[in-house]
Amino acid sequence: IYRSRASYEPKAKFSTWLFRIANNLASNTRRNKGRRKEVSLNPQDSGPLGIRPEEQLLMEKSGLMPTRQAGLKETQAVVRQALETLNERQQMAVLLHKFEGMSYADIGTAMKLSEAAVKSLLSRARENLRVQLEKHIID
């Protein structure tokens, strides 16, 4: 935020500006991630089988039967794979709309698109997701 303070325009929403900074940092990190390999030196970062302690605790306390837990994990994996088939712009639009609860206008501002372009982008993303998820339902 400090480095980007000069680019802030008071007439724009602060949350949109903040999202733009975070989005740019995430894109830079993703781009640079392929260039270097990172290894955790802290053995407490993950528990047995690579499960983080918080996730293990949630699984133990959730009260879900093991078969439901397996089904839930499988469903999550299928949805995650389907999301990964989308291009980067479609992924971003879906995540912002469905998981962050942002409006079309806010997404448009954050992604530097018109509201109509956001609607179109989300429509194509939903269609692509439908095609990908139908493959798993039929199988």
pLDDT (tens digit, 9 = 90+) per residue, 104-115?
998 998 888 999
CA-based end-to-end distance of the chain: 47
Average pLDDT value for residue range 113-135: 93
Residue 46: pLDDT band (50, 70, 90) is very low
Q: C-alpha angle 78/94/19, rounded to 5°?
A: 125
For residue 127, pLDDT beyond 90: yes
Rounded distance between C-alpha atoms, residue 138 and residue 118, angstroms:
30
pLDDT in tens, 70-122: 667 788 888 888 888 999 899 989 988 988 888 999 899 888 899 999 999 99
Handedness of CA 14, 21, 126, 78 (dihedral sign): negative
Q: Does this model's pTM top 0.75? A: no
Nearest Cα to 95, choosing from 15, 12, 13, 23?
Answer: 23
What the chain holds in terms of domains, given with CATH numbers, is: 66-139 (1.10.10.10)
